[in-house]
Amino acid sequence: MKVPSRSRRKGLRPTRGQPGSRDGRNGPEGNGAAAPGVKEQAAEAGASIVGWLDERTGASPFLRGFLFRKVPKGTNWYYTLGTATMFAFLSQAVTGVFLAMFYEPDPTRAYESASHITNDVFLGELVRGMHKWGATVMVVLIFLHMGRTFVFGAYKYPRELNWIIGVVLLVLTLVMALTGYLLPFDQRSFWATVVAVNINASGPVVGPYLADFLRAGAEFGTTTIARFYAIHMLLVPVAIAALIGAHLYLVAKLGTTAPPWLKAEKKELLKEEI
């Protein structure tokens, strides 16, 4: 795969040579050229930091391959739905961390602490609102992304594994939606969770045990909300982040597909050639 050799923006390219080379401006062999002014030095600082990191991590060949890979003709706005879903997840992660600083996962304190976030904390209403509506946005986007993949046939060989990872991500996102729904701990979230846990219990043989695991016992008790909270902010987010990494790796490795209508055009061309 051929990639552009110089991707760094002009301002970030080092004006000096490689380490060890002598460009005549520095070092004992300086031949009296004017010392760089403050402005030039400041401009150089960014480039030298990037260069320092690049030299030690080898990041730039990787990033060039990852960010400047070729995409098929016909790539359009529908191809941005996956990225949009990822940014919805990142937004949920950031707002969730800040909500966790005020939220108390205790049956007697949960509702009050959630009200406290909304009513008293500076910008709390905004952050909680972003988290609440962002959850809906993320579920909508993940389904649109899945629909795009299906309709464009992008799940076919060799991308089946990426489809499977995507389905697991969809399920995990819905687990997030379910476990997060309980946390405000008002009447609606309590009874919705009771119903959801009992839907789990309706599965034959293992269902009742699954419900016992979710409730941590036969009745909704002391541990239930803490358990949902731990699943919501530790277990599933880590799994989602790791699987997004795998998902992206496969996208970069396998490339994206052209829209199906372009393939049809190509076939016609082949006919004409014959």
Partner 1 sequence: MAQSPPNRRKSRYTADRNVPGAFEGETVTRRAFMTGGAMAAGGIATAAFALPALGFALGPILEDTTPERWQDVGPEDDFDDQTYVPKVISLAPQIGDVGKTTVYVRRHNPQRDTSNEDLPYVAISTRCAHLGCPVRYFQASRRFVCPCHGGVYGFQGEVVGGPPVRPLDRFYTRVRKGRVQLGDRFSLNSKLERFSPRDPSNHLDGLWQYLYPARPTT
* Residue 126 or 199 with smaller CB distance to partner 1: 199
Query: Binding partner 1 by CB under 8 A: which of 209, 242, 265, 266?
Result: 209
* 228: contact with partner 1 by CB under 8 A: no
Binding-residue total with partner 1 (CB under 8 A): 28
Q: Are the C-beta atoms of 51 and 42 separated by less than 8 Å?
A: no
* 34: contact with partner 1 by CB under 8 A: no
Find the angle CA(71)-CA(72)-CA(75) to the nearest 5 degrees.
85
* Residue 37 or 204 with smaller CB distance to partner 1: 204
CA gap 77, 57 in Å, rounded: 33
- Token digits of residue 274: 């014959």
Q: Which residues of 200-226 are buried (b: 16+ CB within 10 A; e: fewer)?
A: bbeeeeeeeeebeebbbeeebeeebbe
**Minimal distance in Å, beta carbon 197 to partner 1?**
8
Q: Which of residues 166-205 bind partner 1 (CB under 8 A)?
A: 190-191, 194-195, 197-199, 201-202, 204-205
**Minimal distance in Å, beta carbon 204 to partner 1?**
4
* 211: contact with partner 1 by CB under 8 A: yes
DSSP string spanning 183-241?
A: TT-SHHHHHHHHHHHHHHHTSTTTHHHHHHHHHTSSSS-HHHHHHHHHIIIIIHHHHHH
Of 23-31, 156-164, 214-222, 242-250, which part binds partner 1 (CB under 8 A)? Answer: 214-222
**Minimal distance in Å, beta carbon 221 to partner 1?**
4
CA gap 211, 214 in Å, rounded: 5
Q: Which of 97, 189, 192, 87 is nearest to 138 (CA)?
A: 87
Query: Binding partner 1 by CB under 8 A: which of 66, 87, 98, 220?
Result: 220
Binding mask 84-113 for partner 1 (x = CB under 8 A): -----------------------xx-----
Q: Using CB under 8 A, list all residues that contact partner 1.
A: 107-108, 190-191, 194-195, 197-199, 201-202, 204-205, 207-209, 211-213, 215-223
